[in-house]
Amino acid sequence: MRDLRVSITDRCNFRCLYCLPETEEAANFYQTRFQPPGATASKPIQYGWKPRSEILAYEEIERVVRVAVGLGIQKVRVTGGEPLLRREVETLVGRLARLPGVRDLALTTNGFRFAAVARALRSAGLHRVSFSLDSLDRDNFRRMTGRDGLNEVLGAIRLARDLGFAPVKVNAVVIRGLNDSEVESLAEFGRREDLSLRFIEFMPLDSSRSWQRNLVVSGREILERLRRRMDLLPVDASANPSETARRWSFAGGRGELGIIAPVTEPFCGHCNRLRLTADGKIRTCLFSLGEHDLRPLLRGGASDDDLAAELASIVRGKEPGHRIGEPDFVQPARTMSCIGG
């Protein structure tokens, strides 16, 4: 295990269809276009945000990361929910950046509040930033996210590049019948803006339990479409066998394209990730059905050696795979917002 995803809040100011589809437009999309004949519409699971007392303090997060780095973690990514909803996130970034052994410190955000804290994050030691951008059309962006925020996100992406974050990654979840028509325009945007653009298959992590296999646009289909429009050169990933994305560079040297296909081309066998939720649970897979609570150790007087032993024990029980598409697949109770991406 070399990669730790650290969620610092379960709250989010977006309501994306693939995570928290609580808007009327989201309900209409799922129910009127893809609901099987005669089926009753599924209702979203209503999550209450965790009370502040259950959310880990920055000092507790720093301690878990420090112990995990001592066991081999090298890459740390701060996530949410939307991490920039939490106050003084640059304070945590600064603490993590100073930990010996942290070679790569990144943050994933929807970008809406990025401009207000971008310079502070850069000064604190943040290495990289990834943004979510599922549509370049203002109306479709609002339909997908529940918020009219396209201009803010585009501005955040360009600000990150101007401040020297490199590479700047942009993640797009592709859903058939919603934004799959924008695959080519999103790729062209990545090339024009010199970004690392990642297309991600739609995964069953939504609160409405409306995920259906026929909504997934496969990585293979995305690649075939893009190759008909542009020259793509494979990027050698042999130096990092745990890379989740298959990558290509654009002819001409500007930007990069990646495809993450966990549904149709699982990469479980070389996964090296752990996840720490905002309320102190360790998850060994995005689709784990069980979680391991570190909060009693953190708040009960356990030593760092006790914490390290618990983390090592948890890792030994990591699942062999997520089983999406198998008859016995069970969607986890918590959505992406509550798990941490």
Establish if 208 belongs to a structural domain.
no
Residue 201 lies in a domain: no
For residue 156, tell me if it sits in a domain: yes
Q: Which residues of the chain have pLDDT under 70?
A: 21-48, 205-210, 323, 325-327, 329, 331-337, 340-341
SS3 category, 113: coil
Predicted structure pTM score: 0.89
Q: What is d(CA 45, CA 190) in angstroms, rounded to the nearest whole number?
A: 35
Q: Is residue 126 part of a domain?
A: yes
Alpha helix stretches (DSSP H) within 194-318: 219-227, 295-298, 304-316
Is 230 within the bounds of a domain?
Answer: no
Nearest partner of 61 among 81, 89, 82, 84, judged by Cα: 89
Read off the CATH number of the domain in which 93 is found.
3.20.20.70
Q: How far apart are CA 82 and CA 160, in angstroms?
A: 17
Q: Which pLDDT does position 210 carry in this prediction?
A: 64
Cα angle value 238/240/241 (rounded, 5°): 75
Domain that holds residue 93: 3-33+46-170+268-339
- Say if 228 falls within a structural domain: no
Which pLDDT belongs to residue 206?
A: 59
pLDDT tens digits, 87-145: 999 999 999 999 999 999 999 999 999 999 999 999 999 999 999 999 999 999 999 99
Rounded to whole angstroms, the Cα distance separating 133 from 294 reads: 33
CA 101 to chain centroid, in Å, comes to 23
Q: What is the C-alpha radius of gyration for the chain, rounded to an integer number of angstroms?
A: 19
* Inside any domain, residue 332: yes
pLDDT of residue 337: 67
261 in a structural domain: no
Which residues share a beta bridge with 109?
131
Which pLDDT value is given to residue 236? 87
Number of domains in the chain: 1
Q: Is 170 helix (H, G, I), strand (E, B) or coil?
A: strand
Strand partners, 234: 248
Amino acid (1-letter code) at residue 55: I
